Amino acid sequence: MAQYLPIIYAVLALGGLGILFGIVLGLADKKFAVEVDERVSAVRAAVAGANCGACGYAGCDAYAAAVVRGDAKANACTPGGAKTVKAIAAIMGVSAEALEPMVARVRCQGTCERVTTRYEYSGVPSCRAVSGIAGGPNACEFGCVGYGECLSVCAFGAISMVDGIAVIDDDVCTGCGMCVDICPRNIIAMLPKDQTVVVMCRNEATGKRAVLQCKTACVGCKRCEKACDSESIKVVKGVAVIDETTCTRCGACIPVCPMHCIVNFYERNMEDVALVTAQAELNDIEIP
């Protein structure tokens, strides 16, 4: 028995010290308890809790605190999805309708047959590499180059390449924004899911030059500006841009666009668009 005494002493001594410090810490915790807004812990419980940082804050705790402070929107937790948005909206007393989730949208329709090709590229199959070489093989220096860099960073498999253009599946997209960051052409944007009217072009060239580059390029004719009642669509640097905060989604700009680059995202039919575009070209559309 005697030979075990040092071990027993060691266990008792360290265990005793541990328990003693534990009790002291427990008392200190009571004494120094910080009153936390109970909504913070409620929001913290409602979010996905992955500490992914997709909301732009350093972890779920920081995001929950920011929501309660009023600095962050309730719909920033993308992994949590609609359920989380509703839960946070209920806690914070805001309506869930105003919290439409964001999705990534590819704003380009320059498929292989519509865009003019300047040279054959056979190097590294990377959007960023090809964009750096004489503006890319496509005549349009603003559109999708089609090497699918966005596809490779999408953790959810929401992106596919169709006819040389990235296409994002709205139902699968979680709005994490990885593709927005990787796209060297800046043609993928985060837009509210209910923003049905989208300008599907980023081409800053105007008039004939734009048409020569791509058959569905925005020519900057400003017809959409005149058709818009809420002054939400403006031609900036030769390309129409919709302000989605004031846009009423009425779609008045869609039929007036001679190049058919403004579309209703859910009703567009790629073949129709191509047909009408070709027709407009034959009719020698007015180009300022």
Partner 1 sequence: MNPIVKILLFMFSCVLTNNYIFSRFLGCCPFLGVSNKVETAFGMGIAVTFVMALASLFTYFVYYYVLIPLNLAYLNTIAFILVIASLVQVVEMFLKKSAPSLYGALGIYLPLITTNCAVLGVTILNITEGYNLLYSVLNGTFGALGFLLAIVLMAGVRERLETAKIAPALKGFPISLVIAGLMSIAFLGFSNMFAGVM
Closest CB to partner 1 among 7 and 282?
7
Q: Does residue 9 interact with partner 1 by CB under 8 A?
A: yes
Question: Smallest distance, Å, CB 35 to partner 1?
Answer: 10
Q: Does residue 19 interact with partner 1 by CB under 8 A?
A: no
Element (H, E) at 192: strand 188-192
11 close to 17: Cβ distance less than 8 angstroms? no
Can you tell me which of 13, 82, 112, 236 binds partner 1, judged by CB under 8 A? Answer: 13
Lookup: tokens for 219: 């020519």
Question: Smallest distance, Å, CB 56 to partner 1?
Answer: 17
Question: Smallest distance, Å, CB 28 to partner 1?
Answer: 5
Strand residues in 140-179 grouped as ranges (E): 159-162, 165-168
Closest CB to partner 1 among 20 and 52?
20
Phi/psi for 51 (5° steps) reads 50, 40
The one segment of 24-32, 49-57, 216-224, 242-250 that binds partner 1 by CB under 8 A: 24-32
User: If DSSP codes are grouped into helix, strand and coil, which group holds residue 106?
Assistant: strand
| Nearest one of 187, 181, 188, 152 to 54, comparing CA atoms | 181
Distance CA 226, CA 233 (A): 9
Size of the site for partner 1 (CB under 8 A): 15
Q: Does residue 17 interact with partner 1 by CB under 8 A?
A: yes
Q: Does residue 1 interact with partner 1 by CB under 8 A?
A: no
| Residues in 223-262 at the binding interface with partner 1, rule: CB under 8 A | none
Q: Does residue 70 interact with partner 1 by CB under 8 A?
A: no
Closest CB to partner 1 among 35 and 120?
35
Q: Does residue 155 interact with partner 1 by CB under 8 A?
A: no
Give counts: helices (H), strands (E), the chain.
11, 8
Phi/psi for 280 (5° steps) reads -60, -35
Q: How many CB atoms lie within 10 A of CB 53?
A: 13
| Residues in 75-134 at the binding interface with partner 1, rule: CB under 8 A | none
Q: Does residue 32 interact with partner 1 by CB under 8 A?
A: yes
Distance CA 64, CA 133 (A): 45
The count of residues in the chain is: 288
Question: Smallest distance, Å, CB 23 to partner 1?
Answer: 10
Report the interface residues with partner 1, using CB under 8 A. Answer: 6, 9-10, 13-14, 17-18, 21, 24-25, 28-29, 32-34
